[in-house]
Structure 1
Amino acid sequence: MASVKKDNRLTGSQSFVCAGFAGFFSRTVTSPLEVVKIKSQVGTFHSKKGFVQSFLLIYQNEGLRGFWKGNIASCLRLFPYNAVHLTTYKKIVHLHMDELGFISQWRAILAGGLAGVAAALATYPLEVVETRLIAQNCRQPTYIGVVYTLSKIYRSEGTLALYRGFSLTVLGAFPFSAGCYAVYMNLDKIWQEPPFRFTPLQNFINGCLAAGVAQTLSYPFETVKRKMQAQSSRLPHFGGVDVHFNGMIDCFIQVVKNKGVLSLWNGLTANMIKIVPCFGLLFTCFEMCKQVCLYRNGYIISPLSHQLTPGVDQSLGPYELQEVKRYLKNGNFDSGQSSIGNRW
């Protein structure tokens, strides 16, 4: 998932809510592509006739609601995932900063990868739930709802089933980070100008390009992980997985042996198509939500306009700006309790 640029004019809770809302909306709109991708990775019968035919088969067999299976579980992952990712990333970056507070680009990308692994560990059971809900036929369901699915997997298969395939998340983080690093290290060559001159459109394209390259490199790990999440002897047709295996290495062997090497990239078309609208909606929704917060904080004149409020120092944090407003309104500070008053 793409990240959005931090704005110091927002409080921590506002940034968190904006990012959560943007992620929720972008995932919901692009859910049909995610369903097709995961079914292709698992190897259910829907995916055996190609990308376009998969949509028709899902609609014929499950109706429109079949395209939003597992979306609630996917959206529920966002808030704890973002919280853990942000906290872990800040701690790792702080450890690798030099005396002047700078960090190299490759260290920052590596920190992002490690933070992603930590966040995935905290929310992995919900990812397993998402895969199970998507792989099944919603007209003949084995699982109904997120809580019921978690409970049933735990009771019938044990705790380890909720983390089946997690090691592939760790392994996939390395090619993913390498892909991001390769793209970001060559952006100045691609655009023929230094990064600080990039426009918002260029940054958007950079994000899509980095995600496309990184996800393509790590995709085989993602495919095997989805198969491991879906397969269960307690489900009809072993969860719909197209190969039977025992463990991670055997899954790789069976997939290559029976389906060919390229089958490790099944569903990549849907994934690539999803990147642009998902990123576009993510950034657009975040900016819309941010506009409302900036208006409430007093930095802009309207949530529908980017025009800055006259006379407002945009470098002040939200709480500092409120103190300045109270000072201008009251004409004095409260007996030296204000940080602005102490500074002045």
Structure 2
Amino acid sequence: MASVKTDDRLTRSQSFLCVGFAGIFSKTVTSPLEVVKIKSQVGTFHSKRGFWQSFLLIYQNERLKGFWKGNLVSCLRLFPYSAVHLTTYKKIVHLHMDELGFISQWRAIFAGGLAGVAAALVTYPLEVAETRLIVQNCREPTYVGVIHTLSKISRSEGLLALYRGFSLTVLGAFPFSIGCYAVYMNLDKLWQEPPSRFSSLQNFINGCLAAGVAQTLSYPFETVKRKMQAQSAHLPHFGGVDVHFNGVVDCFIQVVRNKGVLSLWNGLTANTIKIVPYFGLLFTCFEMCKQVCLYRNGYIISPLSYKLTPGVDQSLGPNELQEVKRYLRNRNFGSGESSFGNRW
């Protein structure tokens, strides 16, 4: 069983900003690996000579800015994606919770999968824009900026082009959820102790393992999805896609027939390498932002540690704590009467 817990000492806006800032920072730092991964999936000429040569070719043709193409739209997508994902996840989880507030691991992962599909539906046009911006040559761009990309695709290819390949997001959610479930169901055997006793480092390793296994299982669906997002008769060389196809099924067939089954996992090296720094930066940055918020709310004595403020009831919510603060101020507590008074 798994318990769904949040830190009630943060406001909703603070939690949202912590997640958003951590996501932007980790995505920006690992953007070069994401660019190489997507170019490998699409099959552009940069990926023909292998993983390390891809970096060299991108630098030679587009310089350093080529490694951060599409990063802005990727970061912008985080906020609506996180908001929809969190809202949908909570609603689904509430439907499956027992009277004690617990939910099975499998149902929690399934809820996460459904929430991910709902969030992807809302933000999918931005993902298409990200793919187009990454696969184009930034020295001879077809698209300039997010708005221009979206408007040009909708004008020249129709609104449905902004959702080309979305069905693969839905199909890929199933092997992704199965991969997460398989990992989490065997964590107690891996660590030889119950999940309730896992440390922060263990939870970080667990997240990396789950992401690695889940993304590997669902990777062929993402590869075909990226090819469908990139291919366009309005782009040079049809968007740089290494096969020509009509529809989802034909894309799978053409890839396997012309490039081999293993080509469905092109870019997996870059994706796997990205997992550890991405989740490491995400986790670290989130914890740092959380500490700053807890310090501002008055729960801890410093934004550099989790040492609790003496005399503060940690079970109080931020608004309740502010009410206590106002009450103490109105009572004109002296600076030496209590440690709680000292804080304010």
TM-score bucket (shorter structure) = over 0.9
* Deviation at residue 328 of structure 1 after TM alignment: 2.6
Letter in 2 for 1:69: K
1:5–1:265 distance in 2 versus 1, CA, 3 Å: farther
* Deviation at residue 59 of structure 1 after TM alignment: 0.2
Letter in 1 for 2:8: N
Give, in whole Å, the separation in 1 of the partners of 2:138 and 2:82.
29
Counterpart for residue 15 of structure 1: 15
Moved more, 298-307 or 13-22: 298-307
1:5–1:236 distance in 2 versus 1, CA, 3 Å: farther
Give, in whole Å, the separation in 1 of the partners of 2:96 and 2:197.
26
1:165 and 2:150 aligned: no
Give, in whole Å, the separation in 2 of the partners of 1:79 and 1:202.
28
* Deviation at residue 322 of structure 1 after TM alignment: 1.2
Letter in 2 for 1:113: G
1:192 and 2:186 aligned: no
5 Å-filtered alignment, 1:80-159, equals 80-159=80-159
- SS in structure 2 of the partner of residue 77 of structure 1: helix
* Deviation at residue 314 of structure 1 after TM alignment: 1.1
* Deviation at residue 5 of structure 1 after TM alignment: 7.1
- SS in structure 2 of the partner of residue 49 of structure 1: coil
* Deviation at residue 329 of structure 1 after TM alignment: 2.7
Give, in whole Å, the separation in 2 of the partners of 1:103 and 1:300.
31
Counterpart for residue 54 of structure 1: 54
Q: How many residues align?
A: 329
* Deviation at residue 53 of structure 1 after TM alignment: 0.2
- SS in structure 1 of the partner of residue 102 of structure 2: coil
* Deviation at residue 330 of structure 1 after TM alignment: 2.3
- Which digits, 9 at most, give the CA deviation of each residue in 1:55-108, with x for residues without a partner? 000000111000000000100000000000000001111111223332111001
Identity %: 88
Counterpart for residue 271 of structure 2: 271
Counterpart for residue 227 of structure 2: 227
Give, in whole Å, the separation in 1 of the partners of 2:11 and 2:102.
23
Letter in 2 for 1:130: E
Counterpart for residue 339 of structure 2: none
- SS in structure 1 of the partner of residue 103 of structure 2: coil
Give, in whole Å, the separation in 1 of the partners of 2:224 and 2:57.
23
Give, in whole Å, the separation in 2 of the partners of 1:98 and 1:307.
33
Give, in whole Å, the separation in 2 of the partners of 1:19 and 1:42.
29
Moved more, 112-121 or 94-103: 94-103
Letter in 1 for 2:142: T
Give, in whole Å, the separation in 2 of the partners of 1:15 and 1:328.
27
Gaps of 5+ in 2: 333-344
Letter in 1 for 2:183: V
Counterpart for residue 255 of structure 2: 255
Give, in whole Å, the separation in 2 of the partners of 1:195 and 1:306.
22
Give, in whole Å, the separation in 2 of the partners of 1:36 and 1:309.
46
* Deviation at residue 42 of structure 1 after TM alignment: 0.1
Give, in whole Å, the separation in 2 of the partners of 1:90 and 1:331.
40
- Which digits, 9 at most, give the CA deviation of each residue in 1:8-46, with x for residues without a partner? 110000000010000000000000000000000000000
- Which digits, 9 at most, give the CA deviation of each residue in 1:210-239, with x for residues without a partner? 000000000000000000000001110000
Is the CA contact 1:6–1:15 (under 8 Å) kept in the aligned structure 2?
no
- Which digits, 9 at most, give the CA deviation of each residue in 1:141-196, with x for residues without a partner? 11111000000001000110000000000000000000000000110000000001
Give, in whole Å, the separation in 1 of the partners of 2:100 and 2:66.
52
Letter in 1 for 2:276: V
- SS in structure 2 of the partner of residue 142 of structure 1: coil
Give, in whole Å, the separation in 2 of the partners of 1:304 and 1:276.
24
1:203 and 2:203 aligned: yes
- Which digits, 9 at most, give the CA deviation of each residue in 1:248-272, with x for residues without a partner? 0000000000000000000000000
* Deviation at residue 303 of structure 1 after TM alignment: 1.0
Letter in 2 for 1:227: K
Gaps of 5+ in 1: 333-344
1:290 and 2:290 aligned: yes
TM-score, normalised to structure 2, is 0.94
Give, in whole Å, the separation in 2 of the partners of 1:226 and 1:327.
57
Is the CA contact 1:132–1:229 (under 8 Å) kept in the aligned structure 2?
yes
- Which digits, 9 at most, give the CA deviation of each residue in 1:87-138, with x for residues without a partner? 0001111111223332111001000000000000000000000000001110
Moved more, 238-247 or 91-100: 91-100
Letter in 2 for 1:292: V
Letter in 2 for 1:294: L
Counterpart for residue 212 of structure 2: 212
Give, in whole Å, the separation in 2 of the partners of 1:27 and 1:219.
19
Is the CA contact 1:135–1:230 (under 8 Å) kept in the aligned structure 2?
yes
Give, in whole Å, the separation in 1 of the partners of 2:88 and 2:270.
30
Give, in whole Å, the separation in 2 of the partners of 1:200 and 1:23.
19
- SS in structure 1 of the partner of residue 100 of structure 2: coil
